[in-house]
Structure 1
Amino acid sequence: MRRPISPDGPSRYLREADRLHIADRLIEKASIRQIAAELGRSPSTISREIRRNGVPVRAGSSQWVYRPHAAQSRAEARRPRPKTGKIGQNPELRDFIQRHLEQRWSPEQICQVLRARFPDRPEMHVTHETIYQALYVQGRGELRRELTSALRTGRARRRPHRQAHKRQPRFTAPMVMISDRPAEAADRAVPGHWEGDCIVGAGHRSAIGTLVERTTRFTMLVHLPNGHRAEHFHQALTATISQLPPHLRRSLTWDQGNEMAGHQLFSTAVNMPVYFCNPASPWQRGSNENTNGLLRQYFPKGTDLSLHSREHLDTVAAELNSRPRKTLGWETPAERLSKLLATTRK
């Protein structure tokens, strides 16, 4: 007997209709787990609601009853904002924090010392985020605002992070995004569209470039003996792609890694446009991500990748290209590419 979902959609908090349902089902002797399943909630949520908002039948009675309208009123009374935070409720804690901020301690240092100095007093324990909230959130008034000048940054307000519309351009040359890539690349109908990335070694000090052709899943590896800084990477990538015939250089899709800062020079040198994925969107290079996982069998994480020679990289790539793939009807990438090249020559 699942209760119909409210037309207002799911809610983080229990509504009055939820509490009426709980009361009705308790009268019917339903279990906590049954009620939780009917409401699409955790059993602990229902148990806590009954425990917090159940009331004695009469004063001094050991029997209790759950009254939904009274429970709703109590929940609403507890909810008003803003509430005084932990620091504002404890003058001793507030003074301790302010005193050490004036001594230019960081919030994280203060939190660690509080736990060490008052191990048996949880009311004196806070996280560094709580201190930042008390400093920066308007209307809290728990710590003096001028104490922000003692922080490492000295900022009087918090700087937001990871806002796409305020993100600085990654490269000097403008990027062309994957949304502008030709439709023929997306449907894998035409060969010559590649995905690329780097797998990095221990401490990000070494790397191997990886290239995967989208239609055939054919793999090429870029040897980076001089490291993967942009100037070295541009030269190595250009040399690798130049081995391909012109009709297999239709496009290259890459993430926004620093190694591609020279993308415009590369594109001009090999006559091949470069498209960039959106930030934190590895699925936009799905074939390449899958291949990178296969390559980790040969080049484990945390190892020095500069130890591998050009010849060894060619051997690994040839081994991958000779594996039958389910997505290719159990043909190998090498076989599929060879067929395409033969068709093109006719």
Structure 2
Amino acid sequence: MTRARRTHKKRGPAPLADKRDQYLRLMAQGMSNSAACRELGINRRTGTRWRYGRKEVDQAGRERTYPPISERPDTDAISPRFLSEEERLVIADLLRAGNSLRAIARQLDRDPATISREVRRNRDPRTGAYHPFHAQRRAVVRRARSKDGKIQRDPELKQFIQRHLDQRWSPEQISQALRTAFPDEPERHLAHETIYQAIYLPHRGGLERQPSTLRTGRQARRRRRRADQRATRFVDPGTLIHQRPAEVEDRQVPGHWEGDLIVGQGNRSAIGTLVDRTTRYVKLLHIPGRHTADNVRDALLAAFADLPAGLARSITWDQGSEMSRHDEFTAVTGIPIYFCEPASPWQRGSNENMNGLLRQYFPKGGDLSAYSAEDLAFVAVELNNRPRKTLGWQAPAELFAKIIATIE
């Protein structure tokens, strides 16, 4: 049986952001759709979709509506020195009432030249009347116009960057090399983010984008959110690591655990691991069968059943699908679970270190379902009785026992 050849979906043309901006400007000037499309070299149907919007039905039967580009919300924050839509409404009302431009400027606390320029540039070219919403659209289109970037304007700089990209240099490495190559030309010293944008937006940066251009092979930029906007991918989104109490960070209060799974060959078996951040005490979870969310939840309930409340304060885990029933565990035990950011194992440093030690007992590529609960208990005892440098050469079991004695 021959292996099926992998095919890569061919990407379409570069984004038409520049042409959309130009289309809006031409339409605002009173040009017809056909004439604007001829001017820009685009299909007339494309202009019609931009002007009137469109509806599409995907394969699942869901209908999606795309509004006209002139009606799409403008989410970019602008400086208060620019006139707002509310101010344009006031200008229109005062003009109809017969107020002078200077009187309008005084009422809006603006310079008279600002009001004069606004009325002159954004009034209807045919009738001379000032319509506030039409003026707002013209101002938005004018503000959103694009321009060539620094790399596009400098052929030598562009050639230097492209040559190093072809040699598989990263944008950050190229950014540093520019300072050495052009020491007396600070205008050619670019931040690596500028190079990234020129790669992902070739219609502005002019750099060739190939699958091997960046080490990730990514053809489109992955959207990222700020830490306070991120959420887990579970039905119950859970709480992210940035919202943990401050006492978790300093490791002075025991009972805050880090957890994960180590998996066997083919991802068909797993062992759960829990490490106390303060004492480095480890508990191993026996998970018979597949490591489904139900089985992991039950294993966690069993692990915390015999712990006093002072040693069961929180758990930090990654966002693996095995934790999708975290809310049920928390509802039963009252123990909150905090989730790391995706692909951020260093946020569970103690647990990652312990998982490395466990591979001495459970080598990678093996069948972890072959180990019984008694086998896991034996390994946990060995690790907990091993002295640790980070604990002043005390053993986790010794320190854990002292804490239990003080609680009881």
Q: TM-score range by the shorter chain?
A: 0.5 to 0.7
Equivalent in the alignment of 1:12: 178
Instruction: Work out whether 1:188 is the aligned partner of 2:188.
Output: no
The 1:322/1:175 distance shift into structure 2, 3 A limit, reads same
Aligned pairs for 1:1-346 within 5 A: 10=176, 12=178, 14-15=181-182, 17=184, 82=206, 160=220, 162-165=222-225, 169-345=232-408
The 1:265/1:324 distance shift into structure 2, 3 A limit, reads same
The 1:339/1:81 distance shift into structure 2, 3 A limit, reads closer
Deviations 1:72-118 (A, max 9, x none): xxxxxxxx9748x79xxxxxxxxxxxxxxxxxxxxxxxxxxxxxxxx
* 8 Å CA contact retained: 1:250, 1:272: yes
Alpha-carbon distance in structure 2 between the residues aligned to 1:16 and 1:214: 48
1:159, distance to aligned residue in structure 2 (A): 7.8
> 238-247 vs 330-339, which deviates more?
238-247
Alpha-carbon distance in structure 1 between the residues aligned to 2:391 and 2:407: 19
Alpha-carbon distance in structure 1 between the residues aligned to 2:222 and 2:319: 15
* 8 Å CA contact retained: 2:248, 2:256: yes
1:162, distance to aligned residue in structure 2 (A): 3.4
Alpha-carbon distance in structure 2 between the residues aligned to 1:269 and 1:190: 23
Equivalent in the alignment of 1:75: none
* 8 Å CA contact retained: 1:193, 1:215: yes
Alpha-carbon distance in structure 1 between the residues aligned to 2:294 and 2:396: 31
Unaligned runs of 5+ in 1: 1-8, 19-79, 87-126, 131-157
SS in 1 for 2:289: coil
1:336, distance to aligned residue in structure 2 (A): 0.2
Deviations 1:229-251 (A, max 9, x none): 11221111111121211221100
Alpha-carbon distance in structure 2 between the residues aligned to 1:161 and 1:253: 29
Deviations 1:208-235 (A, max 9, x none): 0000001100000000112111122111
SS in 1 for 2:350: helix
SS in 2 for 1:194: strand
The 1:187/1:16 distance shift into structure 2, 3 A limit, reads closer
* 8 Å CA contact retained: 1:230, 1:260: yes
TM-score, scaled relative to structure 1? 0.56
The 1:231/1:11 distance shift into structure 2, 3 A limit, reads same
Deviations 1:319-345 (A, max 9, x none): 000000011111100000111111223
Alpha-carbon distance in structure 2 between the residues aligned to 1:275 and 1:184: 14
TM-score, scaled relative to structure 2? 0.47
Deviations 1:144-174 (A, max 9, x none): xxxxxxxxxxxxxx98453223988510002
* Counterpart AA for 1:265: E
Unaligned runs of 5+ in 2: 1-174, 186-203
The 1:235/1:10 distance shift into structure 2, 3 A limit, reads same
Q: Among all aligned residue pairs of Structure 1 and Structure 2, give the percentage whose two residues are the same amino acid.
A: 54
The 1:316/1:302 distance shift into structure 2, 3 A limit, reads same
Q: What root-mean-square deviation, in Å, do the aligned CA atoms of Structure 1 and Structure 2 show?
A: 2.8
Alpha-carbon distance in structure 2 between the residues aligned to 1:278 and 1:128: 26
Matched positions, count: 209
* Counterpart AA for 2:222: R
